[in-house]
Amino acid sequence: MNDLENLYRQVIMDNYKNPKNKGLIENDKYIKYHMSNPSCGDEITIQVLIDDNTVKDLKHDGKGCSICCASASIMSSLVKNKSVDVSTNLINNFSDMLLGKEVNEELLDEAIVFKGVSKFPARMKCASLAWKALEKVIEGDTNE
Ligand code: ZN
């Protein structure tokens, strides 16, 4: 393992142990979306406040592997206060990165730590679960 991979793993473990924006709140202005990844046992619910075409807030809760939980944590801090357009662009770049395509690394910021997941197809669903849920919410979908 090289230094960069080591650093990425460290960031993932930090976000797993101390997740940002974890825990749902009672507020019906937020839109909820639940998603699961049966192949790994990951379960996640996100709760998003969209106002003025901007993701004002995003919370998440659930249980899952370190990759799934860390990805939700990193996504929640990345999209907060970003416009819906920029958030959609982030989601698309993130899924392209998992497919091993060229991406806007500057835009992806800390989410770049999941780049190595592209080498482990079985873990792709873990990394993308929270992002797929956000995509659904932006599309106007809800399942809770
Ligand atoms: Zn998982």
* Mean pLDDT estimate for the chain: 96
- pTM score, whole prediction: 0.96
Sort 84 into a burial class: Cβ within 10 Å, 0-12 / 13-18 / 19+. Answer: middle
The whole-number mean pLDDT for each consecutive block of 10 residues of the chain, a chain of 144 residues, reads 88 98 97 96 98 98 97 98 98 97 97 95 96 97 84
Element (H, E) at 95: helix 84-98
77 CA → ligand 1 middle, Å: 20
pLDDT at 65: 97
37 CA → ligand 1 middle, Å: 7
> 79-102: per-residue pLDDT in tens?
999 999 999 999 999 999 999 999
Please, which residues have CB less than 5 A from ligand 1, an ion? Answer: 40, 42, 65, 68, 126
